[in-house]
Amino acid sequence: MRPEIDIVARMRIRPTARTSAKPCRALKHTNSQPAVAKRDRASEAGEPAPDDHDIGLHLLIGRCIKECNGRMQALFPRSSPQRFLQAERLCPAAHGSPVVRDQEPIRTVNVARSQRCNMQARVSDVKSSNPILLCAALLLLALSGCAISPRANQDKVVVIAGASSGFGKGVALELAGQGAKLVLAARRTELLEQLAAECEQRGGKAVVVTTDVSDEAQVRRLAETAVEQFGSIDVWINMAGVGAIGRFEEIPLADHHRLLDINVGGVVNGSYYALKQFREQGAGTLINIASVAGRVPFPYYSSYVASKHALIGLGAAINQELRLNGEKNIRVSTISPFAADTPWFDHAANYSGHKARQIMLDPPEKVIDSIVAATVRPKPDINVGYKAKASVASHRIAQQLTRRMVGNVNHKVLMEDAAPAPQTAGALYEPVPGRGAVDGGMRKRLAEGDLRKVEDLQAQDQ
């Protein structure tokens, strides 16, 4: 467990008989022009004048939020913040500066060190007569809750199954920058060795273990190597997976079985040896990568959808067992991303007769950030991004309508708009040669194709 930052804001809402009569330093701005004008307007309207303490709190919180906003914009120049901050730099309250003196605490907020705004807040004993102050405090908390230590995974031992490309490679590089000790597993040994060298350059340590996750003996050797090299396993991430695209009966039955061996059997193998080690240690985090397709079924990905449904059920069942046995220090997190632009589509078996194609792809960095965050602050179920969250919510509210919409879109994108392509077994049986990229480049190809279509239409009009 990582240390927490406790922010205790002692706010004085109304003066009482128990409070000190000595004015608070934080209220020194109550005689400012805005405060005086507010009292004058209330007097002219025949209303009770606002309390100086309320005015002081409004001014103080407003200034603090404005300062936080400015610093957040300076620190997060990109739309999706990926670097780590110190909470102490975001808000004066984070490093002990009192907001308002008082004899009894009105509000207590606990902000855990976590990545990408992973935090828990508890607000208690707030007087219902001050909703504006409550909203301002919650906004301030949201601004300051993004902070985590830049070395949150320092010296953690992390096993990554499926590290040669895509999410696995991206997560390995991020964790290496935080000083983690990595055990990299995949079938492509040469790419793993190149990745290990990159991780060493970023400040991490890395060991390569060539592994086919569908082989139980190889996964057992992976776990044993991790313990032999580093003495323990803190985090185990199962993200090795393949796909098979096409009508269900047109995909060879052997390919369906092979996909399930990798996507389900491989995760079961990894989870089995990870949990055995965690129980010996008394702690550990298991992260399994599922998909939004495991919650909202997509046509033409039938066995892949079935495998992701299985992972969601596996994680939920294991979490129940851990709860019933009181093993609070062992955590299982199932992460469900939306379709992302990784080499997955190039590696998938394809019997559709068309080139693998998908629209509205998320950048892989969004999912990578969520996985890295889960190593610090795991949650049982994580849907990554607004598209995944909206899809799952829509499926719960209007199941049939959502399935019809998803099905129609996927049919048009794959079976009507995609270019013809030969059948292939992809990476089901043998690894696909490649450079081990994180980004698949599909968004760029789709944008170029759309541009060519527009140019063709313009040429026809002329």
Residues whose CB is less than 8 angstroms from the CB of residue 142 and which lie 6 or more positions away in sequence, other chains included: 117
Q: What is the DSSP string of 247-263?
A: -GGGS-HHHHHHHHIII
User: Exposed e or buried b for every residue in 330-355, given b needs 16+ CB within 10 A?
Assistant: bbbbbbbbbbbbbbbbbbbbbbbbbb
pLDDT tens column, 151-203: 788 889 999 999 999 999 999 999 999 999 999 999 999 999 999 999 999 99
Distance CA 456, CA 49 (A): 69
Q: Which of 70-79, 294-303, 427-436 is most confident?
A: 294-303
Higher pLDDT, 77 or 269: 269
Q: Is 363 exposed, middle or buried (0-12, 13-18, 19+ CB in 10 A)?
A: middle
Sign of CA dihedral 57, 58, 60, 64: positive
Q: What is the mean pLDDT of residues 129-154?
A: 59
Question: Which pLDDT value is given to residue 28?
Answer: 43
Residue 238, phi then psi, degrees to nearest 5: -100, 110
- pLDDT exceeds 60 at position 422: yes
Assigned token pair, 331 = 């955590």
Q: What is the mean pLDDT of residues 304-333?
A: 95
Report yes or no: 306 and 243 within 8 Å, Cβ to Cβ.
Answer: no
Q: Is 140 exposed, middle or buried (0-12, 13-18, 19+ CB in 10 A)?
A: buried
Strand order in the sheet with 205-210: 205-210, 181-186, 157-161, 235-238, 284-289, 330-337, 381-384
**Beta carbons within 10 angstroms of residue 418's beta carbon:** 16
Question: Which pLDDT value is given to residue 447?
Answer: 77
Question: Which pLDDT value is given to residue 103?
Answer: 37
Distance CA 329, CA 207 (A): 26
- pLDDT exceeds 50 at position 16: no
Question: Which pLDDT value is given to residue 359?
Answer: 87
Model confidence band, residue 4 (pLDDT cutoffs 50, 70, 90)? very low
Q: What percent of the chain lies above the pLDDT cut of 70?
A: 65
Least confident residue range of 65-74, 216-225, 346-355: 65-74
Question: Which pLDDT value is given to residue 169?
Answer: 94
Structural domains of the chain sorted by starting position, each given as residue range(s) with its CATH number in brackets = 4-144 (no CATH), 157-441 (3.40.50.720)
Look over the chain and give the mean of its residue pLDDT values, rounded to a whole number.
Answer: 76
39: closest CA among 29, 27, 52, 28?
Answer: 52
**Beta carbons within 10 angstroms of residue 401's beta carbon:** 11
- pLDDT exceeds 50 at position 111: no
Q: Which of 17-26, 43-52, 129-138, 365-374 is most confident?
A: 365-374
Question: Which pLDDT value is given to residue 279?
Answer: 94
Question: Which pLDDT value is given to residue 105?
Answer: 36
Question: Which pLDDT value is given to residue 185?
Answer: 96
pLDDT tens column, 81-108: 333 333 333 344 434 443 433 333 333 3
Catalytic residue among 304, 351, 386, 429: 304
Report yes or no: 342 and 438 within 8 Å, Cβ to Cβ.
Answer: yes
Q: What percent of the chain lies above the pLDDT cut of 90?
A: 56
Report yes or no: 290 and 311 within 8 Å, Cβ to Cβ.
Answer: yes
Model confidence band, residue 41 (pLDDT cutoffs 50, 70, 90)? low
Least confident residue range of 225-234, 242-251, 416-425, 448-457: 448-457
Q: What is the mean pLDDT of residues 342-369?
A: 91
**Distance between alpha carbon 316 and the CA centroid of its chain, in Å?**
18
Whether 300 sits among the annotated catalytic residues: the reply is no
pLDDT tens column, 43-95: 666 555 555 444 454 444 455 445 545 544 444 444 333 333 333 333 444 34
